[in-house]
Amino acid sequence: MDNLEISGFELGVETFSLPSNKCRIKKNNDDDGAVWINVEKVSDEPLYYSFDGINGLCLTTKFGSVRKKNLLLELASLDIKNEDLILQFLEENGFFFPLQNGTVSMKLNDCLNIIYRLMATTELISDLGSMDPDMDQMLFSTLYLLLGESVELYNDDTNKTIFSSPLHEAMNIINQSSIAVNTDYDTDEAAEKGTYTVKDTVYNGTYELDAEDYDSVISGDDPWHKNPENTDARYRKIISVYKTNHNLNRNSRRIIDFLFHYMYEVGVIKKIDYRNGIEYYKDPQGKTIDEQLNSALMITARIVVANEINTIISRSVRPFFSADTLNTTWRATSLHSALFFSLFYMRPGKSVFRRCANPTCKKYFSVSSTNGRRIYCCKKCRDANNSRMHRIKIKKAPDS
Ligand SMILES: [Zn+2]
């Protein structure tokens, strides 16, 4: 039986019940040089939250009056390179995850990566809902969610998972695949024309994959150190799955096709990091994404965003009818999932987050997409940037 779907219903002000408290976060280094954070509850008084369609997830008093609006926007507008500001946000607004026995410790890097995934998802929703999307940003956020470092957090006492980043099925297939070393033309037809014909969702149904290229990546040899990308384990798996594994659901196949074509035609990605960007084996300068690959990127971005949000919401947020008040509330297992809930209701086409066009600011601000022309977060930034642009014009054209 099909599920009954209720689409686009409007939420009023919803209260949120979730376990979170003010906390103190201390950084310390372990013997291997990794930075850890110790998070300690500073008050037994819980924090209270509410959600509404205009202000997003808010911090409230016990009685529901709003103390601080739109926590997601506040987090998004922080300078992401400054980890102390991020930790301060968590101290004030509650830690992402419940504090077992009042404390929790985790690697700083894991904590930051969890935040970066949330940011990348927020940016993707904004770009997908924008009339004038930033395609470079969309490419980066999509690749980051697919290929960036994933996070697994366990509670050592209970042996239960606290959090694991939602990996799309396509990535599990790639990660778990073994490379079928099957070089030197596996069919007579391929030997004759020098290519393998591969079913493909990006280019008109099929793609002619150069057999020599394929064989040299699959064999993983690079005796002259000219093509170090051919020894990259992930790339070898992607190209292998691309050619051989066609019995998959359509969305997984689309992701695999996109990743293959992006790496094969633009550049093989060695590492992707939210703060430092993409590291390639060879500088892809001048290589561009053609129209078909661009459409494949848009589709992949949608699949990735949906997977990220659906996975987190379905495992950690549910509606709840209160016997005390006879009202509906929402229960979330953590502040992290409540922030995803506010993303869930950030409708593309209704409101978008946009980065301020003043290069010395670059903060995120929220605009309704019907007011799509606004590019500065505030009047001060508009004036500052207008006078800066004016100075540049004068410098460039001294005679006019
Ligand atoms: Zn600004």
Q: How confident is the model at residue 263 (pLDDT cuts 50, 70, 90)?
A: very high
Residue 287: φ, ψ to 5°: -80, 130
Residue 366 is predicted with a pLDDT of 75
Residue 205 token pair: 């149904």
Instruction: Please state the rounded mean pLDDT for residues 64-78.
Output: 89
Residue 367 token pair: 């605009």
Residues 40 and 24: their CA atoms lie apart, in Å, by 5
Q: Is residue 6 part of a domain?
A: no
Choose one of 294, 319, 338: the last residue of a domain. 294
CA of 58 to the centre of ligand 1 (A): 22
CA of 204 to the centre of ligand 1 (A): 44
CA of 360 to the centre of ligand 1 (A): 8
Looking at the fold, whether 61 and 163 belong to one and the same domain comes out as yes
Residues 107 and 36: their CA atoms lie apart, in Å, by 4
Residue 111 is predicted with a pLDDT of 93
CA of 362 to the centre of ligand 1 (A): 6
Q: Which of these, 296, 301, 203, lies nearest to 254 by C-alpha position?
A: 296
Residue 183 is predicted with a pLDDT of 59
Instruction: Please state the rounded mean pLDDT for residues 270-280.
Output: 94
Looking at the fold, whether 120 and 83 belong to one and the same domain comes out as yes
CA of 255 to the centre of ligand 1 (A): 35
- DSSP notation for 216-252: HHHHT--TTSS-GGGG-HHHHHHHHHHHH---S-HHH
Summarised one tens digit per residue, pLDDT across range 74-120 is: 898 888 888 999 999 999 999 988 887 778 889 999 999 999 999 99
Residue 140 token pair: 């980066």
The pLDDT of residue 139 is above 90: yes
Its pTM stands at 0.87
Residue whose pair of structure tokens reads 């947020």 in the numeric block = 317
Instruction: Please state the rounded mean pLDDT for residues 224-241.
Output: 92
CA of 68 to the centre of ligand 1 (A): 20
Amino acid identity for residue 157 in this structure: D
- Chain-centre distance for alpha carbon 321: 32
What percent of the residues of the chain are helix, what percent strand, and what percent coil, each to the nearest 5?
40, 25, 35
The pLDDT of residue 173 is above 90: yes
Looking at the fold, whether 144 and 161 belong to one and the same domain comes out as yes
Pairing of strands 277-280, 103-107: unpaired
Residue 233 is predicted with a pLDDT of 94
Looking at the fold, whether 136 and 251 belong to one and the same domain comes out as no
Summarised one tens digit per residue, pLDDT across range 338-373 is: 999 888 877 655 566 777 878 787 677 777 656 667
The pLDDT of residue 400 is above 50: no
The domain tally of the chain equals 3
Residue 201 is predicted with a pLDDT of 95
Looking at the fold, whether 372 and 277 belong to one and the same domain comes out as no
Residue 352 is predicted with a pLDDT of 66
Looking at the fold, whether 301 and 203 belong to one and the same domain comes out as no
Q: What rounded mean pLDDT belongs to the chain? A: 86
Looking at the fold, whether 27 and 111 belong to one and the same domain comes out as yes
Residue 2 is predicted with a pLDDT of 56
Choose one of 267, 294, 321: the last residue of a domain. 294
Looking at the fold, whether 198 and 271 belong to one and the same domain comes out as yes
Residues 354 and 137: their CA atoms lie apart, in Å, by 12
Q: How confident is the model at residue 1 (pLDDT cuts 50, 70, 90)?
A: very low
CA of 381 to the centre of ligand 1 (A): 5
Looking at the fold, whether 251 and 399 belong to one and the same domain comes out as no
Residues 115 and 127: their CA atoms lie apart, in Å, by 18
* CB-count exposure of residue 308 (10 Å: 0-12, 13-18, 19+): buried
Which stretches of the chain are assigned E, i.e. beta strand?
14-17, 21-29, 35-46, 48-52, 56-60, 66-68, 103-107, 152-155, 160-164, 195-200, 205-210, 269-273, 277-280, 317-321, 328-332, 351-355, 364-368
Sequence-ordered list of residues with C-beta below 8 angstroms from that of 141, at least 6 positions apart, any chain: 120, 121, 123, 124, 127, 301
Domain that holds residue 90: 14-170+295-355
Instruction: Please state the rounded mean pLDDT for residues 257-281.
Output: 95
Q: Is residue 4 part of a domain?
A: no
CA of 80 to the centre of ligand 1 (A): 15
CA of 53 to the centre of ligand 1 (A): 23
Residue 5 is predicted with a pLDDT of 57
- DSSP notation for 253-319: HHHHHHHHHIIIII--EEEEETTTEEEESS--TT----HHHHHHHHHHHHHHHHHHHHHHHHHHEEE
CA of 74 to the centre of ligand 1 (A): 13
Looking at the fold, whether 204 and 151 belong to one and the same domain comes out as no
Whole-number Cα distances in Å, 271 to 124, 160, 274, 279 = 20, 29, 10, 5
Looking at the fold, whether 161 and 283 belong to one and the same domain comes out as no
Looking at the fold, whether 67 and 134 belong to one and the same domain comes out as yes
Instruction: Please state the rounded mean pLDDT for residues 21-46.
Output: 90
